Amino acid sequence: MSLLPFPADRRTSDVRRCATALQQLQGEAANRFWRSEMAIFANALREQGVEDDEISRQAGLFMHAVQMELQLAYAEEELNASA
C-alpha cells in the first residue's frame, strides 16, 4: 500500500471545483466532465505507484466528498430560497 500525502476526500479545493462544475453542467456534459476528472485522478495516482485497489478506494472517497459538497450547496440554496 502506498502512502498518499493528501487523501482524496480531503482535497477540498478539488472537491469544491468539481462540485461547482457539476452544478453548472447537465446530462452528458456532466458525465463527460466526471469521467474525465476520474481518469485524470486515477492516472495521477497510478503514476505515483498506487495500487488499483487503493485507487478505487480513494476514488470512492473523492466521489462521496463531491456528493456531500453538492448536497450542502443544494441545502444552502433551499435555505436561502425559503428565507
Which is more confident, 35 or 82? 35
What is the percent of the chain where pLDDT is above 70?
A: 93
Q: Which of 42, 47, 82 is nearest to 58 (CA)?
A: 42
Please enumerate in sequence order all residues whose Cβ is within 8 A of that of 58, keeping only pairs 6 or more positions apart, or say none. 4, 7, 8, 9, 41, 45, 50
Looking at residue 62, its pLDDT comes to 96
Q: What digits encode the pLDDT tens for the residues 18-27?
A: 999 999 999 9
What is the percent of the chain where pLDDT is above 90?
A: 75
Looking at residue 19, its pLDDT comes to 96
**pTM for the full model?**
0.85
